[in-house]
Amino acid sequence: MNKPNRPPAGVLGIGLEAFLPPGAYTPELRRPRVSSPVDRSRVAVNDAMQSGGLVNLLDSLRHRQDWTGPWYKRGVTALKYVARSLCLAAQHQRFLALIAADPVMRAYRRRDPRLLERHMHRYVNAHWHRRDRLSYLLQHYRFAKAHLPSGLYELVYAQGHASLGSLVAKDGSLLTLCLRPPIYKGCEGELCLQLCDANEVPLYSIVFTIADEQPTLMIGCLQGPKGENARDVVRELTRNLHGMRPKQLMLSLVYTFAQRYGIERVVAISNEAHPLRRSGRPLFSDYDAFWDEQRGQRIGGGWYALPTSLTHKSEAEVPSNHRAAFRRREALRRDAEQLLVNALAQPLPTFSNSHLQASRMTFPVYGRL
């Protein structure tokens, strides 16, 4: 008698386990390999949800001050966020877990909930894919938690401000160095170094991100003052720096940061790859021209590779009638670099919000040059 023509169980997509009695142990059986992108995504989502990701994902929907508008618009924004999260389920879960496990990152998330979805929008380099953006976010905060002094890490990301100390300008006024997180809904990097006036109003800023897998410092922004009198402010600031251009000082400080952690590779964003280039908002700086001036080389992907170290003139190269100003300028630059080195080298005390203002007075003020 002929056997009925039945296809194997696997062809039906059921699996051989379906034909075994309940509780049968079959270690030799394996389910078909997941091959299609849809199947791989489904497995990744399932793994993320089973490892506590659902709790973190639901928690990331709370206190979203960055979602504005009427309730239905906020609802649409939330649905978009969830859908985008599921596209990178495993990676996004790791990022949410990093935030949930760290009190400093939880405080930062409350101050700027956009942190949770920074990688879902334009960010640092317009050529990056969402997966790249998330990878570099994870790398930066892994680096920050592991290498920044704990007090400085808390002041920057939990409190939103760390004053590194003050310098006395040519006219006797104070200039302050500050480290801050990126601006609200920022897209140019994760750590902002600023040169401020005596009232800590920013005059010049440089924003960068650290990649720790192949140690690299990535500059995403170098920005001066804005407004109608911006040129006058820069001109006056240059005079108070004994003729040193503010953006040259900021670049020197970034190199000091890189050298402190043994980071030899410094790259900078080009005009073409800047995340705001298509936003309709003007770029106030010509990045390409400045990187060319610093002997940077275009390396593709929207980046300039900057030299491993900056070169500074020696006093012998300066005309004799300008050497006094040159010495004052170089002394000011070295003092600014030392303020940053001191902040990175020594543990700083942690402060509550009520003591934050007092903490700004505990750092050194360098004497008049």
pLDDT digits (tens, 9 = 90+) for 68-95: 999 999 999 999 999 998 998 899 999 9
Q: Which of 218, 164, 178, 106 is nearest to 341 (CA)?
A: 164
Residue 296 contacts residue 307 (beta carbons within 8 Å)? yes
CA atoms of 95 and 135, how far apart (whole Å): 9
CB-count exposure of residue 258 (10 Å: 0-12, 13-18, 19+): buried
Centre a 10 Å sphere on the Cβ of residue 147 and count the other Cβ atoms it contains.
13
pLDDT digits (tens, 9 = 90+) for 308-321: 998 887 777 788 77
Residue 337 contacts residue 253 (beta carbons within 8 Å)? yes
CA atoms of 107 and 160, how far apart (whole Å): 10
pTM, two decimals, is 0.79
CA atoms of 338 and 256, how far apart (whole Å): 9
Q: How confident is the model at residue 365 (pLDDT cuts 50, 70, 90)?
A: very low
Cβ neighbours of residue 12 under 8 Å, at least 6 residues apart? none
Strand-pairing partners, residue 168, are 174
CA atoms of 28 and 307, how far apart (whole Å): 57
Q: Mind listing the domains of the chain with CATH numbers?
A: 34-101 (no CATH), 138-349 (3.40.630)
Query: 42-56, 233-247, 267-281: which range is least confident on average?
Result: 42-56
pLDDT of the residue at 272: 92
* H-state helical runs in the chain: 37-48, 54-59, 71-87, 89-100, 103-111, 130-147, 150-154, 230-240, 246-260, 287-293, 323-345, 356-359
pLDDT of the residue at 369: 32
Q: How confident is the model at residue 366 (pLDDT cuts 50, 70, 90)?
A: very low
Residue 332 contacts residue 171 (beta carbons within 8 Å)? no
Six token digits for residue 15: 């699996």
Cβ neighbours of residue 348 under 8 Å, at least 6 residues apart? 149, 150, 151, 152, 155, 162
